[in-house]
Amino acid sequence: MDESSKSLKLVAEPAEYFHELLKQAIGRSRVKPRPETEVYLLNLLQQFMVTDALYPKDANGQSKEEPLAFMIKEAFEAEATPSQQRALFRQVGDVSLYMAGFFQDSLNRKLVDLDYYIDMGGIAYQRVAVMQAEAQLRPIFTELADRFSMFVDLLAEISDQTSLKNEKNLLQMYEYWIRTGSGRAERTLKEAGILPTAQAKKTVQ
């Protein structure tokens, strides 16, 4: 299937399209999420099809971009009900996960890098899990928090399938593999003829 066909399918059948990509990514990775967490990830992918959904709204309903650290600070200090505060933390977690998964290349060129999003997202989801009143939902956010970097890797697998990426910054990919042990990064390096080893990770630690 060519890229134009994929785009048409994405518009017409987003749920089916993303479900197929998510299943394929899970099959290629070492991440085996809970079924409930898999559904959450699928909903996340569909939600952020519209870029505007990535950003919180101001009092006038306009999207506003602000650093994740500010969003975390607002969530901790908000004079709000527990459910409203939980929603703020969840927004930080969702945005962090999606941005870190789908926009790794651009994040690695900014002052605020991938590790920042991983740290903020893990903290946010952990707070959601602690504050979650519904017992059946708590394990979802606990898993998202505990395995955040793995789920970033999973979304990055999907990003690779939905984007035209003719070139990879192999140095950044190598550094990312050293920091996280990412299975996706390791496969990419091997496909480029680079064989990452455990000894390489020990050398920089």
Write down the domain spans for the chain. 3-166, 167-205
User: Between 53 and 39, where is the model more confident?
Assistant: 39
Mean pLDDT of 70-98: 86
Q: Is the pLDDT of residue 100 over 80?
A: yes
Q: Is the pLDDT of residue 104 over 90?
A: no
Phi, psi for 187 (deg, rounded to 5): -65, -40
User: Between 191 and 205, where is the model more confident?
Assistant: 191
Given a contact cutoff of 8 angstroms between Cβ atoms, the answer to whether 152 and 118 are in contact is yes
pLDDT digits (tens, 9 = 90+) for 76-86: 887 778 888 89
Q: Is the pLDDT of residue 40 over 90?
A: yes
Predicted pLDDT of residue 189: 73
User: ∠23-189-150 over CA atoms, to 5°?
Assistant: 40
Mean pLDDT rounded to a whole number for the chain: 77
Phi, psi for 63 (deg, rounded to 5): -65, 140
